[in-house]
Structure 1
Amino acid sequence: MSSLLTEALSLCNLAAVGIFGIVLSAAFCEIEWTRRRRLLLVGCTILMLALQGVVSLRWGTGLARYLYPLITHLPLWLLLAAMTRRALWSLVSVLTAYLCCQLRRWAALLVIALFPAGGTVLQDATELIVTLPILLVLIRWIAPSVRALSRSPLLLQLQFGMIPLLSYLFDYFTRIYTDLLSSGNQAAVEFMPFVCSLAYLGFVLHTTQEQQLRSQLEQTRNSLNLQVTQAVREIEAMRESQRKASTYRHDLRHHLQYLSACIENGRTEAAQEYIHSVCAEIEASKVNVYCENEAANLILSSFAARAQHDGIDFRVHAAIPLILPLPDSDLCVLFSNALENALHAGQRQKQAGKPAVVETTAYEKDGRLFVQIANSCSFPVQFDAQGIPTTSQPGHGLGVRSICAIVEQYGGMYSFARQQDQFVLRISL
């Protein structure tokens, strides 16, 4: 009777692990589950379980475990490959599901450790009991993440499938096909720790590369945000200038009528004062022309207005041609970041009651653009080993990195220095 119970539990456990692996493998694949595909999976599952049962009853469960890759894993892989049209990921899914079967085994080993008298009957019974709860947990919380990996590049899929493959081969060649593991073979005992070491090193390398890529993308995103912000400022400045120009054109007739009345009544001084006031308003609304380059003019004019509002002495000596070796968007990022930092330094100077001056010098020579932006700086500045200014304030320092990235992109040179209460940025590209 005990032998019959043991054999029955072993058969049920073999069927349970088969259903566990088949359902979990299918859950790891991205399949649109139509009624026909569900029936196909159920039918194939019944056939595979029937084949396992025939082999187990005719030749014993030992032979069934020995032939398991041929009578279960291979047909399952071919079935999933036919349903998904993705042979590699179908194989990865089958191997990953097999690896997850270790959860059943370890749950049973834990119970055996607590109740050693139970033997193989308790082990089979425990594995049988925990099968459904573990399967439901894996399908609910793990399967969606695994399916998401199926959309990853081929190299990442191979990396993901490497551990399940090695675990599968190790399990069969050291525990089922041979007794290397139970005999204490040194290579067999140390193999999986070795694999774990390699997997950890690979994980570290991959994570580092991902972090570097993420940093580059973050830097690019910040640069694009700055470009968009500056473009919005430029467009708004042009719109405001156009609105004022339209207003002056519309009011020109009224201005002339007023001046004509002043002249007719001999009020020449009032006419002169009125002319001066109108000219001052027009002068205040115009975009200053510092050089031939329109984008540079808009940027410099925008920051000149901000500097005037903050009481900062803003000086410009620019001879920038219309055509430059870099697009207007990158020129915008360079000037905007550099002048933004200079104005921030000027604001700190004003708050400390000290003079604030920002002086911009830019010119083109022999096909290269040279830019120098110097601003008053009476407070200390920290530099890293590469001579780039650093700050511990959150959200700051992105502008400097954007400047460096653009200059390096065009094979140029840059330098940051603090000289005699001045912070000086020099760029050549």
Structure 2
Amino acid sequence: MITTLIELIRFGFSLLFGVALSVCFAGIEYTRKNKSIGFFCLILLIVQASYWWLFGIDFTAKLYPLIAHLPMILFLIIYFKRPWLISIVSVFFAYLYCQVPRWIGIIGGTILGSRLSEHICYIAAVFLAYYLFKIYVADTLRELVDKSAKSCILLGTVPMLYYLFDYITTIYTDLLYRGVNGAVQFIPSVFSIVYFVFIILYYVEMQKQICANRERDMLAAQLHSAHSELVSLRQMQNVAATYRHDMRHHFAILQGMVSEGNIDKFKTYLKTAQSDIDAITPIRFCENETVNLILSTFFTKAKQAGITMTVDAKLPISLPLSDTELCSLLSNGLENAISAATSLSSEFKVVSVKATIHKNNLLILIENHYEGVIVIKDGLPQPSLEGHGYGTRSISAIADSHGGQATFSAEDGLFTLKVKIPSKK
């Protein structure tokens, strides 16, 4: 009598343990608002006890998927609004982890030599197992199943197969107990297959992680380079300001040369001074100082390469990008454009730049002619040489980080870069 009573209590704790794990793995925190979990457990216990009373433990065990597991899945989906895939996988995981107290109970019963001892050890193990799973397993498992549907399916495969195997071979039939070869070899085969699949997928993920880290480092280097270039440009601007400030000294020298009647020396000095001023004085294209510096620098580079660079920039002082991001975006775009136009004939040596704010969006358009073939894959131009292409990735990454978009196209010998970034209100 006592053994039967303890066995019934064990089934009750098994239900509570399964529900608690399912809720925990599904990412539902225990709060005062979630008192419904307790009422749900109570309802399941009443239903389970009714079936025990009417049909016995063995028949109730066969109906368990319908009277416990399916309601648990529907409860997670309908009441807690959890995704159906995560809800199903959470219940499968809970069922798999219920085997831990079961094995502890079996070991305890074997050592102590009684069925009653097995039930008591099982009940004690439930509390310990729940504590360990909640502290060390639940958070990691939730993060993995929430990552993607693919990850959720991959992780849920073994619990699902074990669930089906356990019910088919031990509850609905006795194939496992009769030592049927297929039943005995099924679970080892499943674990072997899943293990090798895991190795392959783990290798693929590691390669993706390595590529992502390498790309992140290169993008960080791009931003660092842009920062250094911006500092250099501002130093040049300060030199220009100093040069303009010292113009009175140049005028005094020129005045002395005129007084001496040395016209040739006057012309040479004037030409040199004008060249120096042109080299360090930024051309003013718009109100934004950083954009002026960058456009001015590349305007000079284009002129030195025999390239005509047309600029139509109407940008305010404040922009949604930091100065470093602006420098990286414009420098990469203009450097690629000038590089592509350098080898063309004079009529195609043209780089066009347009920039404006339209409907609360920063819009940048850079166009240039090119020769050869440019392949666009996954929205990005593919580099012809190893180790190149980080400039376009940097442009795309900057646009994405601000909720914008960078579009690259190459048609009929004309390469186009379009950038759209929402302005901060």
Query: Into which bin does the TM-score normalised by the smaller protein fall?
Result: 0.5 to 0.7
CA 1:319–1:261 in 2, change beyond 3 Å: closer, same or farther?
Answer: closer
Q: Answer whether contact 1:28 1:143 (CA < 8 A) is retained.
A: yes
* Residue ranges of structure 1 left out of the alignment (5+ in a row): 288-293, 303-316, 337-361, 371-399, 412-429
Q: Within 5 Å, which residues of 2 pair with 1:32-181?
A: 35-38=32-35, 40-85=36-81, 86-113=83-110, 115=111, 118-181=113-176
Change (3 A) 1:236 1:333: farther
Aligned to 1:396: none
* Residue 108 to residue 320, structure 1, CA distance change in 2 (3 Å): farther
8 Å contact from structure 1 (residues 30, 84) kept in 2: no
**Pairs within 5 Å for 1:253-292:** 253-260=248-255
Q: CA deviation at 1:318?
A: 6.2
CA distance in 2, matches of 1:17, 1:318: 79
Contact 1:89 1:150 in 2 (8 A): yes
State whether residues 108 and 123 of structure 1, in contact with CA within 8 Å, keep that contact through their aligned partners in structure 2: yes
Deviation at 1:95, TM superposition (A): 1.0
CA separation of 1:101 and 1:332: change in aligned 2, threshold 3 A: farther
Q: 1:11: Cα distance to partner?
A: 0.8
Shift of 1:201: 2.2
Q: Select the structure of larger CA radius of gyration.
A: 1
Give 3-state SS (helix, strand or coil) of 2:114's partner: helix
Aligned to 2:388: 403
Whether the aligned pair in 1 keeps the contact of 2:144 and 2:152 (CA below 8 Å) is yes
2:235 aligned partner, one-letter code: E
User: Compared with structure 1, are the counterparts of its residues 226 and 335 closer, same or farther at alpha carbon in structure 2 (3 Å cutoff)?
Assistant: farther
What's 1:389 paired with?
Answer: none
Distance apart, 1:67 and its partner CA: 1.8
Tell me how far apart the structure 1 counterparts of residues 56 and 224 of structure 2 sit (CA, whole Å). Answer: 75
Worse-superposed segment, 14-23 or 64-73: 64-73
Maintained 8 Å contact 1:20/1:135: yes
* 2:27 counterpart (27, 30, 44): 30
Name the aligned partner's letter for residue 12 of structure 1. Answer: I
Paired amino acid for 2:2: L
Distance in 1 (CA, whole Å) between partners of 2:237 and 2:80 is 60
Could you tell me which amino acid in structure 2 is paired with residue 221 of structure 1?
A: R
Matched, 1:244 2:247: no
Task: Give the TM-score taking structure 2 as reference length.
Answer: 0.64
Counterpart check, 1:19 vs 2:4:
no
Deviations 1:255-279 (A, max 9, x none): 32255357658999x9999989979
Q: Which residue of 2 aligns with 1:209?
A: 204
CA distance in 2, matches of 1:364, 1:274: 36
Tell me the distance in 1 between the aligned counterparts of 2:191 and 2:338: 50
**Distance across 1 between alignment mates of 2:203 and 2:390:** 20
Amino acid at match of 2:37: L
What residue in structure 1 maps to residue 343 of structure 2? 363
Cα 1:120/1:335, change in 2 over 3 Å: farther
Q: Give unpaired runs (5+ residues) of structure 2.
A: 283-292, 311-328, 349-368, 373-384, 394-407, 411-425
Q: Which amino acid aligns with 2:77?
A: A
How many angstroms does 1:109 deviate by? 3.2
Distance 1:24 1:257 in 2: 88
Assess if the C-alpha contact under 8 Å between 1:92 and 1:161 holds in 2: yes
Identity %: 28
Q: TM-score, normalised by structure 1?
A: 0.64
1:241 shift after superposition: 2.0
Determine if contact 1:21/1:101 at 8 Å carries over to the other structure. Answer: yes
On the 8 A contact 1:230/1:332 being kept in 2, the answer is no
Q: Distance in 1 between matches of 2:69 and 2:103?
A: 21
For 2:388, give the aligned amino acid: I
Instruction: After TM superposition, give the deviation of residue 150 of structure 1 in Å.
Output: 4.1
C-alpha contact (below 8 Å) 2:93/2:159 kept by paired residues: yes
Deviation at 1:252, TM superposition (A): 0.6
Equivalent pair of 1:318/1:363 in contact (CA under 8 Å):
no
State the alpha-carbon separation in 2 of the partners of residues 177 and 278 from structure 1: 98
Residues 104, 127 of structure 1: 8 Å contact kept = yes
The residue matched to 2:137 in structure 1 has which SS?
Answer: helix
User: Could you report, residue by residue, the CA deviation over 1:91-148 in whole angstroms, capped at 9, with x for unpaired residues?
Assistant: 11111101110111222233345x1x51322221111111111111212222222222
**1: distance between equivalents of 2:100 and 2:86?**
22
In structure 2, C-alpha distance between the alignment counterparts of 1:252 and 1:100, rounded to whole Å:
83
Distance (Å, rounded) in 1 between the aligned partners of 2:210 and 2:101: 41
Contact 1:13 1:127 in 2 (8 A): yes
The count of corresponding residues between Structure 1 and Structure 2 is: 330
Matches of 1:333 and 1:119, distance apart in 2: 80
How far off its partner does 1:183 sit?
A: 0.8
Letter in 1 for 2:107: L
List per-residue Cα deviations over 1:398-425 (Å, max 9, x = no partner).
xx953277899999xxxxxxxxxxxxxx
C-alpha contact (below 8 Å) 1:13/1:124 kept by paired residues: yes
**Distance in 2 (alpha carbons) for counterparts of 1:277 and 1:321:** 24
CA RMSD of aligned residues (A): 4.2
> 1:156 Cα shift?
2.0
